[in-house]
Chain A
């Protein structure tokens, strides 16, 4: 039987969170995901996920598995880790569980997007939601990123082509510049390119900021002169969007890049207007940052062991894993940062999340749940912190939030004994 298509499904395949996906379902399987990009099509798949409960590699009852997870947490010290594909409702329950357990709490962010967030905590930031970029930005500067690779519809939905309130002609009203840093190149659609070696990047950002502030620098290399020229071009635009990849990529980025871009975007708001657009990956990772912030005051890397939240951004999850006795991963365990996946080897672990029973490492407990936005309804955040509703499109296993609440109840009971 074919159900009526969902007209405005939200795809969490990347942080774009495109909400124009038309999903058709037949016999509890997804048959098409129209408008989705390649990443999105892969993320939706056919919507079929396992629904197993495993303890020590064998099938088990749910309440047995829940008790075993609680036992791991009560022994401590533990890490509760927010992996992708959770609704924010489930993330909130997982943070509560970590608080109750006096555990470490972390998310994908600490091993991926932390440098940008830490730079923002030092300096602040000037940014905008994606619709402002679409409606206003007449100069787009892609800094060492081609969104087409990991954020395939960013250009078509938010940046390059669409018309906007202040850009009635759409693409023809925009100027696109690529800043290529070593092998990290901007999009092919750019009409101007500035080429930097990785060793010149921090200096180029310094030159640009100085230029924006009205200082004339002399004796610059041709590369840095080009960077200064770009800065002057930016000051003449009406609204500048600087786009960079906040996630870690295959190429190591200069750790000063995030701070340099934050400072440049802020400085540009003197002579003109500017927003820094930070690209984030999928699976509602911005939601994990948001919920962790409102419940603890800190966006990631939280230590509840003192009896209150303490911020430990200097110890990402990949490091903490070397110090805890067990880890509870909540979310999709096969979409973890490489450093975290490597640090998991040999750890006592439980996984509650989509395809937990197919985790690429040995688990003490695995409880399969559905995927946010495919099997589970709730809220998920776009890369720019805009919250969106996600729907249940096909039936799935028990909901992650419900299972986490059960673990918390079992933990409270175990702690009382």
Chain B
């Protein structure tokens, strides 16, 4: 069944972007794309009784970056405990690669495991522009996935100087250049201004109007400037924001202030769970999920992914250097910090979310509250901020929690309730996600938020990325082991086994810009950089850039 045409016959189709909610029908494929029909003699994959969905789309994970590789290097014990022998592919495929798993699997294992879950598209959500060349090399070694990366901005010296000088006008051209130079797909902002504050001795910025040093630069100014630049360039995905004060008691005030600062502007708030805590200032931690999700519910220009915490091992890896220092100094675990010149930072601390820990339980509950209180699943989508809140391998268990209240209640009984006073989840949220809502938060929604017109749906012309599940009362098992997965029309998983591992496509942008800005950027490089401007841009990004709609 590797021909150019295929009929997936008689499956129960969940394709929310095209209005199919459990519709029994055929899905036809030709040359890697969905078509209206194929001739009667085309090969048939019998999907009767099975659930058919578009391939999964991960809007936010960390799996292919210099920071991830530093985390891999830090964690030999994590890898030693999870060996990954090479899968046995069909003979025509040639040898597969072995690797290791754990919270941050090696690259080939990452591609195989995502495919084995039925995910066919994923984005690495935080790449230092200086290290983009490294990310593309890792992505070259991450099979199956169509993949891209988000370029870190918001602590870059050049941008901060433009804002300080009141030169916001040239930022759009700078952003466009930087996205093209790094082969990135979107603008990622992490702790705006706060990483530079960490590096310069100010330690952090903790509210949107706190100035960076003696300058006029504030998180608000950074966010407004970058949001306007991204929206002005008509980027398919708006700025992807990890706000200030991640992981702190009482940080919901900062989160709401950040959202209000960007009211009226398209923006995506990532791993929102880590930004929704009440308490602080002597008061105990509490859930502030309800107030934050209410903002998202009432602002159609805003979207979020949840960043669910799952009980078990994790590795925290982020550009947010100050938060990792705090985690290191409070947990006593091993810690990596890397200051990246003129751009950003990197912090890594291995971690474990224990159900007996009150804060971990609160985090778990906050994430579920966000899911269950969200009114529009198209704008509040699934992530664990892999590997920060848990591995992408925990998505099936998370889906079970969303679809099955009794599973949540059972987990809740085992967890530490000390900080759950006032929690909507503890008070009993009855909602259970439907299969269609799962299809939205795991594929259709992320694809739409990313502006990927050919992903996340099964309409004519879409990429033929399809996942087929055998229904099972054990929902975690069902979503962990798809029966078939097709990538660009090719069967990569058959009868639950990975049989092919083709190269994926690189998803990146090359927006147009006025190259007058480059004279100024080059001067900046000449004055302060240690990499020549002519050596900065990634020279070989595979595949044509994704077209930006006019």
Query: Given contacts A293-B72, A294-B106, A386-B131, are A129 and B99 in contact (CB under 8 A)?
Result: no
Contacts of B201 in A (CB 8 A): 238-239, 272-273
A120, B74: Cβ atoms closer than 8 Å:
yes
State which of B79-87, B413-421, B484-492 sits at the interface with chain A. Answer: B79-87
Contacts of A122 in B (CB 8 A): 334
What is the CA–CA distance of A269 and B539 in the complex, to the nearest angstrom? Answer: 36
B95, A311: Cβ atoms closer than 8 Å:
no
Docked complex: B333-368 residues within 8 A CB-CB of A:
334-342, 348-349
The answer, yes or no, to whether A297 is at the interface (CB within 8 Å) is yes
What is the CA–CA distance of A310 and B534 in the complex, to the nearest angstrom? Answer: 40
What is the CA–CA distance of A306 and B80 in the complex, to the nearest angstrom? Answer: 12
Residue of B76, B99, B532 touching A308 (CB-CB under 8 A):
B99
The answer, yes or no, to whether A61 is at the interface (CB within 8 Å) is no
The answer, yes or no, to whether A134 is at the interface (CB within 8 Å) is yes
State which of B133-141, B248-256, B292-300, B400-408 sits at the interface with chain A. Answer: B133-141
Query: Given contacts A297-B79, A298-B76, are A307 and B531 in contact (CB under 8 A)?
Result: no
Contacts of A311 in B (CB 8 A): 76, 79-80
The answer, yes or no, to whether B97 is at the interface (CB within 8 Å) is yes
Query: Given contacts A121-B73, A294-B72, A297-B76, are A389 and B99 in contact (CB under 8 A)?
Result: no
Contacts of B18 in A (CB 8 A): none
Residue among B94, B528, B534 with most chain A CB within 10 A: B528
Contacts of A385 in B (CB 8 A): 66, 70, 131, 134
The answer, yes or no, to whether A75 is at the interface (CB within 8 Å) is no
B335, A129: Cβ atoms closer than 8 Å:
no
Taking residues whose C-beta sits less than 8 angstroms from the other chain, chain B's interface range is 35 or more
Contacts of A128 in B (CB 8 A): 338-341
Residue of A135, A239, A289, A412 touching B342 (CB-CB under 8 A):
A135
What is the CA–CA distance of A238 and B339 in the complex, to the nearest angstrom? Answer: 14
The answer, yes or no, to whether B115 is at the interface (CB within 8 Å) is no
The answer, yes or no, to whether A266 is at the interface (CB within 8 Å) is yes
The answer, yes or no, to whether B454 is at the interface (CB within 8 Å) is no
Min distance, Cβ A115 to any Cβ of chain B, angstroms: 14
What is the CA–CA distance of A294 and B138 in the complex, to the nearest angstrom? Answer: 7
A307, B85: Cβ atoms closer than 8 Å:
yes
Taking residues whose C-beta sits less than 8 angstroms from the other chain, chain A's interface range is 35 or more
What is the CA–CA distance of A39 and B101 in the complex, to the nearest angstrom? Answer: 41
The answer, yes or no, to whether A143 is at the interface (CB within 8 Å) is no
The answer, yes or no, to whether A283 is at the interface (CB within 8 Å) is no
B341, A132: Cβ atoms closer than 8 Å:
yes
Residue of B94, B527, B535 touching A8 (CB-CB under 8 A):
B535
Binary flags per residue of A388-417, CB closer than 8 Å to B gives 1, else 0: 110000000000000000000000100000
Min distance, Cβ B495 to any Cβ of chain A, angstroms: 22
The answer, yes or no, to whether B325 is at the interface (CB within 8 Å) is yes
Contacts of B107 in A (CB 8 A): 294-295
**In the complex, residue of chain A having the shortest beta-carbon distance to the beta carbon of B203:** A273
The answer, yes or no, to whether A335 is at the interface (CB within 8 Å) is no
Min distance, Cβ A144 to any Cβ of chain B, angstroms: 23
Docked complex: B57-96 residues within 8 A CB-CB of A:
66, 68-70, 72-76, 78-80, 83-86, 94-95
Query: Given contacts A8-B535, A129-B339, A311-B79, are A124 and B106 in contact (CB under 8 A)?
Result: no
A299, B73: Cβ atoms closer than 8 Å:
yes
What is the CA–CA distance of A124 and B70 in the complex, to the nearest angstrom? Answer: 10
B108, A295: Cβ atoms closer than 8 Å:
yes
B86, A130: Cβ atoms closer than 8 Å:
no
Contacts of B69 in A (CB 8 A): 290, 293-294
Contacts of B95 in A (CB 8 A): 100, 412
Contacts of A123 in B (CB 8 A): 334-335
Docked complex: A301-359 residues within 8 A CB-CB of B:
304, 306-311, 313
Query: Given contacts A8-B535, A293-B72, A385-B66, are A379 and B137 in contact (CB under 8 A)?
Result: yes
What is the CA–CA distance of A313 and B73 in the complex, to the nearest angstrom? Answer: 13
Q: Is the interface of A mostly helix, strand, loop or mixed?
A: mixed
What is the CA–CA distance of A298 and B69 in the complex, to the nearest angstrom? Answer: 10
Contacts of A200 in B (CB 8 A): none
The answer, yes or no, to whether B105 is at the interface (CB within 8 Å) is yes
B130, A296: Cβ atoms closer than 8 Å:
no
The answer, yes or no, to whether A92 is at the interface (CB within 8 Å) is yes
Residue among B66, B68, B98 with most chain A CB within 10 A: B98
Query: How many contacts between A and B, using CB within 8 angstroms?
Result: 187
Contacts of B97 in A (CB 8 A): 96, 99, 295
The answer, yes or no, to whether B100 is at the interface (CB within 8 Å) is yes
The answer, yes or no, to whether B48 is at the interface (CB within 8 Å) is no
A135, B528: Cβ atoms closer than 8 Å:
yes
Min distance, Cβ A130 to any Cβ of chain B, angstroms: 5
Contacts of B85 in A (CB 8 A): 307-308
The answer, yes or no, to whether B25 is at the interface (CB within 8 Å) is no
The answer, yes or no, to whether A68 is at the interface (CB within 8 Å) is no
Contacts of B338 in A (CB 8 A): 127-129
What is the CA–CA distance of A126 and B74 in the complex, to the nearest angstrom? Answer: 12
Contacts of A130 in B (CB 8 A): 341, 530
What is the CA–CA distance of A9 and B348 in the complex, to the nearest angstrom? Answer: 33
Query: Given contacts A294-B138, A389-B539, are A19 and B532 in contact (CB under 8 A)?
Result: yes
What is the CA–CA distance of A307 and B530 in the complex, to the nearest angstrom? Answer: 41
Residue of B100, B199, B337, B527 touching A297 (CB-CB under 8 A):
B100
Contacts of B137 in A (CB 8 A): 88, 92, 291, 294, 379, 387
What is the CA–CA distance of A19 and B177 in the complex, to the nearest angstrom? Answer: 22
The answer, yes or no, to whether B260 is at the interface (CB within 8 Å) is no
A310, B80: Cβ atoms closer than 8 Å:
yes
Min distance, Cβ B155 to any Cβ of chain A, angstroms: 12
**In the complex, residue of chain A having the shortest beta-carbon distance to the beta carbon of B142:** A294
A129, B340: Cβ atoms closer than 8 Å:
yes
What is the CA–CA distance of A290 and B71 in the complex, to the nearest angstrom? Answer: 11
Docked complex: A175-214 residues within 8 A CB-CB of B:
none
What is the CA–CA distance of A238 and B100 in the complex, to the nearest angstrom? Answer: 40
What is the CA–CA distance of A274 and B94 in the complex, to the nearest angstrom? Answer: 48
Residue of B73, B527, B532, B539 touching A20 (CB-CB under 8 A):
B532
The answer, yes or no, to whether A94 is at the interface (CB within 8 Å) is no
Q: What are 29 sample pairs from A and B whose C-beta atoms fall under 8 A apart? A: A19-B535, A92-B141, A96-B97, A99-B86, A99-B98, A120-B74, A121-B75, A121-B76, A125-B337, A127-B337, A129-B339, A131-B341, A131-B342, A136-B339, A158-B530, A239-B199, A269-B337, A294-B69, A295-B108, A296-B79, A298-B79, A308-B84, A308-B85, A309-B79, A309-B100, A387-B134, A387-B137, A389-B133, A412-B95
Excluding A124-B349, A272-B201, 8 further A-B contacts by CB distance (< 8 Å) are A99-B86, A121-B74, A128-B341, A239-B201, A294-B68, A297-B76, A297-B79, A307-B86
Interface residues of B (CB under 8 A from A): 66, 68-70, 72-76, 78-80, 83-86, 94-95, 97-100, 102, 104-108, 130-131, 133-134, 137-138, 141, 157, 198-201, 325, 328-329, 334-342, 348-349, 527-532, 534-535, 539
Interface residues of A (CB under 8 A from B): 7-8, 10, 19-20, 88, 92, 96, 99-100, 117, 120-132, 134-136, 157-158, 163-166, 238-239, 266, 269-270, 272-273, 275, 289-291, 293-299, 304, 306-311, 313, 379, 385-389, 412
